[in-house]
Structure 1
């Protein structure tokens, strides 16, 4: 019997959808490979979440390590999301920019760890800085009329709205036989589908190298 049926099954649904989208991205002639890798890691993290909520939650001993592994998978997925964003917005030759932006979240976590606030929740909180970098880059791309900017920003907003589901009063979600975590998992599906649609859509001719970097 599943330890937490609703969170487990909703994570399973999210994971299966995202893995299917990752497979489809692998067949896309236009999507950058980093998008596909990000989807694979996100899907794997959701499937691991199914195991976590369904099985591991029976054991108090392994719940913490299991959640730490899933959190690390999420961090990797976000890293590839940033890498794909840098490649799409600035061009493929901006590895230094990627590492500079990636180091923001890492440095923030290092500071928290040094002050005795290390932990999975702190790690995920620091990842919000990486997501902010991604949003800023796409906002810059929108001002320069990058063809993907609008659809990607809509997908990111949808994903952010999904995260807000965690703050919904459980008494409200209980009316539809869900809890905030389960609602969050299901709401994420929309964001991932929108992101897939954005990055797999036919592109207009690419701008000149560096045209969006100036």
Structure 2
């Protein structure tokens, strides 16, 4: 039964990856997220259906980690691009490499934001603790 569920999940992930190919402006990380999620689901089907070995399970785990890595890359790029209203210039593969100016601006903005909200966070935490 698990193998069938994994096959269905793989088909859905691959269908999403193919659908993203037709959407203009989608970054590569989103495509790769779905391709690797589909591959990990397919490897899971093989694990549950054919090879119930440790090596097969390691392959599933590695593919899941790669899919999640691409998901984090895509999410980070989107969040930073929206936060600074300018797309980051260089983001690719398993790591992110941003322009030095964008990276310096991001660090400065995060530092300023954390300094401005540090008192507010403490007050919010106190409010939540009082309500419980």
Instruction: Check whether TM > 0.5.
Output: yes
Residue in structure 2 matched with residue 68 of structure 1 by the alignment? 58
Q: How many residues align?
A: 93
- Structure 2 residue runs without a partner (length 5+): 82-87, 97-101, 110-132
Query: Partner residue of 1:184?
Result: none
Distance 1:99 1:19, change over 3 A: closer
* Aligned match for 2:15, one of 4, 12, 20: 20
TM-score (norm 1): 0.40
In the TM superposition, residue 94 of structure 1 has moved relative to its aligned partner by: 7.3
Higher RCO (Cα < 8 Å, 6 or more apart): 1
Q: Which residue of 1 aligns with 2:78?
A: 88
Distance 1:30 1:94 in 2: 15
1: CA distance, partners of 2:48 / 2:29 = 28
Q: Secondary structure at the match of 1:29?
A: coil
Measured on the aligned residues, the alpha-carbon RMSD in Å equals 2.4
Cα separation, 1, equivalents of 2:95 and 2:39: 24
8 Å CA contact retained: 1:8, 1:54: yes
Q: Does 1:56 align with 2:58?
A: no
Q: 1-side partners of 2:25 and 2:68: how far apart? A: 20
Deviations 1:146-171 (A, max 9, x none): xxxxxxxxxxxxxxxxxxxxxxxxxx
- Structure whose alpha-carbon radius of gyration is higher: 2
* Cα deviations by residue, 1:60-100 (Å, 9 ceiling, x for unpaired): xxx101000110001100110111011111132476xx959
Distance 1:12 1:36 in 2: 19
CA deviations on 1:181-204 (whole Å, 9 max, x unpaired) are: xxxxxxxxxxxxxxxxxxxxxxxx
